[in-house]
């Protein structure tokens, strides 16, 4: 709020006297006044963030301890809300589904993205066209695409027709446990693989060409170059992609919501609720059943889960060289101890 | 303009804009010359709304402007504006399943009895009128349209299976749900082996709607484990066990293919499904017929109009509602939008008795008219959807994944009970 008072202060004699001094010193005593205009200039962001970012976050924490239908009086229920949530079998089912879908989609997706980026990085014609093509799925309306995928995975759809053409039986893509999860994963892969490929490509291009040349001179083939030269240097980029994919993957919503949208109640998440993700369940509780407190509590548990997994991801992917060496040394020592005596 | 000037101007504009929230009396129409009405596409007649936008006939100086809100969003949007006490519409349309969700907050809506609603009571269907009341006795909704149900069936498929095929004869042949299942067995043995239903969800739904009791009673007690629900459940499971269901979800590409390809011989649903059916299976035109549903009619869907407590002009708004939903205009709405009238006087009008070529020249009103008048008075609690979701879900599990029905029933009852206990339902 200092920003509001500043313009008035700026005109005072004291301020005028000190002006030459302030100009020459980086951190003048009257810093507040000096930083006033810039602070004022950037304040719209903070005002908007406070109203549309910080307030909802804090309010949802408050809300998670209340029972509230959105209009009437709130009823304080405290930690019982979280207790109910932890006992809710549908919630745990949705957590399990989310992780299964996340694993099924993220692992192949990152691998495919890496391969694509590597191919793009080598000399090919129309690179620009490929980049655009890879990025298009990411900016296409997910709702529209889900409708298309819905007909691809239908019992009489494209996917099953293709299977039958090669003499295999059709699969219940949208009516069996793993069919549902694989269908959802394929949609997620399709949407994100190009995006991550471009991220990887940017990382690849930052690697000095001498490294590739040296590898070629040493007689390394493509796979060796990928795993021995490229991957180690891409570590920060892989970490970024893995963390963002985890965050995205744990918030899967549109795909399963639109895929199983139907006029009938009770088909949320599809047969067996196998496509029910955490965010879809949150949405159902908050916006269909009007249990906003319950939804808010679910949001905070999801936050906790994402935080834990980001941390694990970080540890797995970014373990520094020093740690690696220490790990290997201790491993060797243990091995030696066992063999030696 | 300099960069600083632009920043200053935008900040100033933002600050000026902020007090705008919560200004006036909270109505979305504050400071305008009209009343605001929220509805979703297809729930009200576009032509009548265009008239009301200029002037409501018979009410000097009154204008009503309708704003279309997406179907799935309107409930949340009404709730949000009521919670914020700002930009609340003067009038809003509420779906029949959702009116009860507003019962705990009934004071947010005006009691239409205080505006003289009783004076037009005898023009409306009795059960629909009773559905407008919150348990406290306040009338918070006004009858918009009804959703009388019927048995839709494929005459050609029934004939080929050796079953009666004229509406009257079919009605007698399948007068009960058990007889309906017997017809289903005959269909499966006939040429082409069509299924009786696409899935059992609709049968479960209709058997329930034939009962005045649903999942939670007026004393706020869970009754979803009782006989009226178990009967609907057992019938649905029996349809599955006898292989009479095609086991496909409505509205999916598979469903469209099955309907177009003559794999489904019948469905039990409301009048509003006619347009969807015509779009889904245009090639089957002329083959469908309508008759009374096994065990009699029910009401499925339909809507209400409500006046919020932020309404700037309650008398004017109610005069508009009386004009919009009077028998004459309900007839126009039926012709224009297929909104089924809640005013029985409209059923006698020759305009409603046009033969429909899609049903081989049959007149839909001959089936839906009597059905609308015979629908039972059903009590819906605010927690209906929360309570019935596990049952529909478990039924889907039995149907699609082959879950054991007994296990699924126990799971449904348990899930519903646990969820409702939290909400204060005993």
- The mean pLDDT of B116-122, rounded to a whole number, is 96
CB contact under 8 A, B396 and A272: yes
pLDDT given at position A14: 47
Give the tens place of pLDDT for each residue, B21-33: 444 478 999 889 9
B2 in a domain, yes or no?
A: no
pLDDT given at position B168: 96
pLDDT given at position B368: 96
Is A260 a residue whose pLDDT tops 90?
Answer: no
- Domain span including residue B120: 34-146+302-352
Judged by CB atoms within 8 Å, which residues 16-75 of B form the interface with A? none
Is B312 a residue whose pLDDT tops 70?
Answer: yes
Tell me how close the Cα of A252 comes to any Cα of chain B, in angstroms. Answer: 20
Q: Directed axis angle between helix A31-49 and helix A2-10, to 10°?
A: 140
Least confident of A19-28, A275-284, B100-109: A19-28
Give the tens place of pLDDT for each residue, B371-422: 999 999 999 999 998 999 999 999 999 998 899 999 999 999 999 999 999 8
B50 in a domain, yes or no?
A: yes
Q: Of B333, B352, B371, which residue is a domain's last?
A: B352
Domain A84-318 CATH assignment equals 1.10.3720.10: yes
B333 in a domain, yes or no?
A: yes
Q: Where does the pLDDT of residue B244 fall: very low under 50, low under 70, confident under 90, or very high at 90 and above?
A: very high
Could you tell me which chain B residue has the CA closest to the CA of A43? B11
Computed over every residue of chain B, the mean pLDDT equals 92
Q: Which residue has the higher pLDDT, A26 or B311?
A: B311
Is A23 a residue whose pLDDT tops 70?
Answer: no
Q: Where does the pLDDT of residue B358 fall: very low under 50, low under 70, confident under 90, or very high at 90 and above?
A: very high
Q: Are residues B288 and B319 in the same domain?
A: no
Q: Which residue has the higher pLDDT, A327 or A199?
A: A199
CB contact under 8 A, A289 and B80: no
Spatial distance between the Cα atoms of B18 and B426, rounded to a whole number of angstroms: 44
pLDDT given at position B387: 93
Is B287 a residue whose pLDDT tops 90?
Answer: yes
pLDDT given at position B6: 53
pLDDT given at position A32: 61
pLDDT given at position A13: 46
Q: Which residues pair with B264 in a beta bridge?
A: B195
Q: Where does the pLDDT of residue A196 fall: very low under 50, low under 70, confident under 90, or very high at 90 and above?
A: very high
Which among A175, A256, A258 is the top mutation candidate for probing chain B, defined by the most B β-carbons within 10 Å of its own β-carbon?
Answer: A175
Q: Which of chain A's residues have a Cβ under 8 Å away from the Cβ of B399? A: 271
Spatial distance between the Cα atoms of B50 and B65, rounded to a whole number of angstroms: 8
Q: Which of chain A's residues have a Cβ under 8 Å away from the Cβ of B391? A: 266
pLDDT given at position B253: 85
| Range list of H helices, B311-404 | 314-324, 327-337, 364-374, 384-401
Is A60 a residue whose pLDDT tops 90?
Answer: yes
Spatial distance between the Cα atoms of B158 and B170, rounded to a whole number of angstroms: 9
Q: Where does the pLDDT of residue A113 fall: very low under 50, low under 70, confident under 90, or very high at 90 and above?
A: very high
Is B210 a residue whose pLDDT tops 70?
Answer: yes
B68 in a domain, yes or no?
A: yes
Is B157 a residue whose pLDDT tops 80?
Answer: yes
Q: Are residues B311 and B255 in the same domain?
A: no
Please give the interface size between A and B, counted as residue pairs whose CB atoms are below 8 Å apart.
Answer: 115
Quick one: CA dihedral B409, B415, B420, B421, positive or negative? positive
Spatial distance between the Cα atoms of A260 and A268, rounded to a whole number of angstroms: 6
Q: Are residues B44 and B99 in the same domain?
A: yes
Q: Within 13 Å of residue A320, how many CA atoms lie on the same side as its CB?
A: 2
Is B56 a residue whose pLDDT tops 80?
Answer: yes
Q: Are residues B177 and B281 in the same domain?
A: yes
Contacts of A305 (CB under 8 A, 6+ apart): A95, A250, A278
Q: Where does the pLDDT of residue A12 fall: very low under 50, low under 70, confident under 90, or very high at 90 and above?
A: very low
Using DSSP, state whether B195 is helix, strand or coil.
strand
Q: Are residues B58 and B152 in the same domain?
A: no
CB contact under 8 A, B422 and A155: no
- The mean pLDDT of B66-74, rounded to a whole number, is 90
Q: Are residues B180 and B121 in the same domain?
A: no
How far separated are the first and last CA of chain A, in Å rounded? 71
pLDDT given at position A280: 93
Least confident of A228-242, B286-300, B400-414: A228-242
Is A171 a residue whose pLDDT tops 90?
Answer: no
Q: Are residues B247 and B314 in the same domain?
A: no
Spatial distance between the Cα atoms of B60 and A73, rounded to a whole number of angstroms: 39
Q: Are residues B295 and B324 in the same domain?
A: no
Contacts of B337 (CB under 8 A, 6+ apart): B42, B44, B45, B46
Is B72 a residue whose pLDDT tops 90?
Answer: no
- Most confident of the ranges A7-11, A217-221, B171-175: B171-175
Is B242 a residue whose pLDDT tops 50?
Answer: yes
Could you tell me which chain A residue has the CA closest to the CA of B109? A71
CB A297 within 8 A of CB A305: no
Q: Of B352, B370, B387, which residue is a domain's last?
A: B352
Q: Of B352, B381, B413, which residue is a domain's last?
A: B352
Smallest Cα–Cα separation from B291: which of B267, B325, B307? B267
Is A187 a residue whose pLDDT tops 70?
Answer: yes
CB B406 within 8 A of CB A277: no
Contacts of A181 (CB under 8 A, 6+ apart): A97, A100, A101, A104, A274, A275
Global ipTM: 0.84
Q: Where does the pLDDT of residue B63 fall: very low under 50, low under 70, confident under 90, or very high at 90 and above?
A: very high
> Given B76, B247, B251, which is nearest A263 (Cβ)?
B251
Q: Which residues pair with B299 in a beta bridge?
A: B148
Interface of A with B (CB under 8 A): 40-41, 43-44, 47-48, 67, 69-72, 84, 87-90, 150-151, 154-157, 172, 174-177, 260-268, 271-273, 287-291, 294
Q: Where does the pLDDT of residue A340 fall: very low under 50, low under 70, confident under 90, or very high at 90 and above?
A: very low
Is A31 a residue whose pLDDT tops 70?
Answer: no
pLDDT given at position A195: 93
Q: Are residues B276 and B394 in the same domain?
A: yes
pLDDT given at position A335: 52
Q: Are residues B216 and B341 in the same domain?
A: no
- The mean pLDDT of A269-273, rounded to a whole number, is 84
Q: What is the DSSP letter of B154?
A: E
In terms of Cβ atoms closer than 10 Å to its own Cβ (0-12, 13-18, 19+), residue B45 is: buried
- The mean pLDDT of B355-382, rounded to a whole number, is 95
Least confident of A21-30, B175-184, B192-201, B269-278: A21-30
- The mean pLDDT of A126-151, rounded to a whole number, is 87
Q: Which of chain A's residues have a Cβ under 8 Å away from the Cβ of B423? A: 67, 291
B4 in a domain, yes or no?
A: no
pLDDT given at position B292: 97
Give the tens place of pLDDT for each residue, B188-206: 999 999 999 999 999 999 9
B7 in a domain, yes or no?
A: no
B3 in a domain, yes or no?
A: no
Which residue is associated with the tokens 């040296």? A214
Is B10 a residue whose pLDDT tops 60?
Answer: no
Q: Are residues B309 and B372 in the same domain?
A: no
pLDDT given at position A4: 42
The CATH number of residue B310's host domain is 3.40.190.10
Q: Per the structure, how many domains does chain B have?
A: 2
The CB density around residue B322, as the number of other CB atoms within 10 Å, is: 20
Is A1 a residue whose pLDDT tops 60?
Answer: no
Is A305 a residue whose pLDDT tops 50?
Answer: yes
Smallest Cα–Cα separation from A290: which of A71, A48, A134? A71
- The mean pLDDT of B149-176, rounded to a whole number, is 96
Q: Are residues B340 and B273 in the same domain?
A: no
Judged by CB atoms within 8 Å, which residues 103-142 of B form the interface with A? 104-105, 108
CB contact under 8 A, A150 and B253: yes
Q: Which residue has the higher pLDDT, B97 or B90?
A: B90
Is B340 a residue whose pLDDT tops 90?
Answer: yes
Q: Within 13 Å of residue B25, how many CA atoms lie on the same side as its CB?
A: 13
Q: Where does the pLDDT of residue A223 fall: very low under 50, low under 70, confident under 90, or very high at 90 and above?
A: confident
Q: Which residue has the higher pLDDT, A335 or A142?
A: A142
CB contact under 8 A, B385 and A271: no
The CB density around residue B137, as the number of other CB atoms within 10 Å, is: 9
- The mean pLDDT of A270-293, rounded to a whole number, is 90
Q: Where does the pLDDT of residue B20 fall: very low under 50, low under 70, confident under 90, or very high at 90 and above?
A: very low
């Amino acid at each position: 709020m200092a920003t509001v008072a500043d313009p008035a202060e700026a005109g005072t004699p004291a301020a005028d006297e000190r002006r030459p001094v302030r100009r020459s010193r980086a951190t003048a005593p009257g810093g507040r006044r000096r930083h006033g205009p810039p602070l004022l200039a950037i304040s719209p962001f903070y005002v908007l963030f406070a109203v549309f970012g910080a307030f909802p976050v804090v309010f949802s924490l408050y809300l998670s301890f209340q029972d509230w239908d959105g209009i009437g009086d709130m009823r304080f229920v405290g930690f019982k809300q979280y207790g109910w949530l932890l006992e809710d079998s549908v919630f745990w089912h949705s957590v399990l589904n989310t992780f299964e879908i996340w694993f099924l989609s993220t692992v192949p997706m990152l691998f495919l993205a890496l391969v694509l980026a590597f191919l793009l990085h080598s000399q090919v014609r129309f690179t620009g066209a490929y980049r655009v093509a890879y990025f298009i799925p990411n900016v296409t309306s997910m709702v529209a695409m889900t409708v298309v995928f819905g007909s691809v995975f239908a019992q009489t759809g494209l996917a099953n027709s293709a299977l039958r053409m090669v003499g295999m039986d059709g699969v219940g893509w949208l009516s069996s446990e793993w069919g549902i999860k694989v269908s959802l994963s394929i949609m997620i892969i399709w949407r994100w693989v190009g995006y991550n490929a471009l991220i990887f490509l940017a990382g690849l291009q930052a690697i000095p060409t001498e490294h590739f040349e040296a590898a070629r001179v040493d007689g390394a083939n493509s796979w060796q170059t990928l795993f021995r030269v490229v991957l180690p240097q891409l570590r920060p980029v892989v970490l970024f992609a893995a963390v963002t994919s985890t965050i995205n993957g744990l918030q899967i919503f549109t795909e399963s919501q639109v895929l199983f949208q139907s006029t009938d109640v009770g088909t949320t998440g599809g047969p067996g609720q196998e496509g029910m993700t955490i965010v879809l369940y949150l949405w159902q509780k908050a916006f269909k059943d009007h249990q906003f407190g319950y939804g808010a509590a679910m949001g905070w548990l999801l936050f906790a889960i994402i935080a834990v997994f980001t941390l694990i991801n970080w540890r797995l992917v970014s373990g520094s060289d020093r740690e690696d060496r220490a790990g290997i040394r201790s491993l060797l020592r243990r091995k030696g101890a066992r063999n030696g005596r | 303009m300099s960069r600083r000037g632009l920043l200053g101007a935008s900040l100033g504009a933002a600050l000026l804009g902020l007090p705008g929230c919560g200004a006036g009396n909270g109505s979305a129409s504050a400071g305008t010359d009209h009343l605001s009405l929220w509805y979703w596409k297809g729930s009200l007649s576009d032509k009548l709304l265009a008239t009301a936008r200029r002037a409501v006939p018979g009410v000097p100086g009154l204008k009503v402007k309708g704003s279309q809100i997406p179907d799935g969003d309107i409930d949340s949007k009404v709730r949000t504006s009521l919670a914020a006490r700002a930009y609340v519409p003067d009038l809003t349309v509420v779906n029949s399943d959702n009116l009860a969700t507003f019962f705990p907050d009934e004071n947010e809506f005006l009691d239409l009895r205080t505006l003289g609603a009783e004076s037009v009571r005898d023009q409306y269907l009795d059960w629909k009128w009773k559905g407008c009341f919150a348990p406290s006795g306040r009338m918070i909704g006004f009858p918009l349209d009804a959703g009388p149900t019927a048995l839709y069936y494929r005459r050609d498929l029934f004939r080929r299976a050796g079953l009666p095929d004229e509406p009257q004869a079919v009605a007698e042949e399948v007068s009960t749900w058990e007889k309906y299942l017997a017809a289903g067995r005959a269909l499966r043995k006939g040429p082409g082996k069509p299924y009786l239903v696409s899935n059992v969800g609709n049968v479960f739904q209709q058997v329930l709607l034939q009962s005045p009791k649903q999942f939670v009673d007026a004393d706020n007690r869970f009754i979803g484990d009782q006989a009226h629900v178990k009967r609907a459940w057992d019938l649905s499971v029996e349809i599955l066990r006898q292989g009479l269901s095609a086991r496909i979800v409505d509205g999916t590409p598979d469903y469209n293919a099955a309907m177009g390809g003559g794999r489904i011989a019948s469905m039990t649903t409301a009048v509003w499904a006619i347009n969807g059916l015509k779009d889904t299976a245009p090639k089957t035109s002329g083959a469908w017929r309508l008759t009374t549903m096994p065990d009699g009619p029910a009401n499925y869907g339909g809507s209400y109009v409500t006046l919020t407590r932020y309404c700037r002009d309650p008398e004017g708004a109610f005069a508009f509602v009386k004009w919009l939903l009077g028998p004459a205009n309900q007839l126009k709405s039926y012709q224009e939008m297929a909104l089924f009238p809640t005013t029985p006087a409209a059923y006698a009008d020759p305009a409603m008795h046009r033969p429909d070529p899609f049903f081989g020249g049959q007149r839909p009103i001959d089936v839906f008219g009597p059905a609308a008048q015979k629908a039972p008075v059903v009590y819906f609690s605010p927690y209906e959807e929360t309570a019935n979701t596990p049952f529909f879900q478990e039924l889907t599990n039995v149907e699609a994944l082959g879950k054991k029905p007994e296990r699924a029933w126990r799971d449904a009852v348990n899930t519903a009970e646990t969820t409702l206990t939290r909400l204060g339902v005993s």
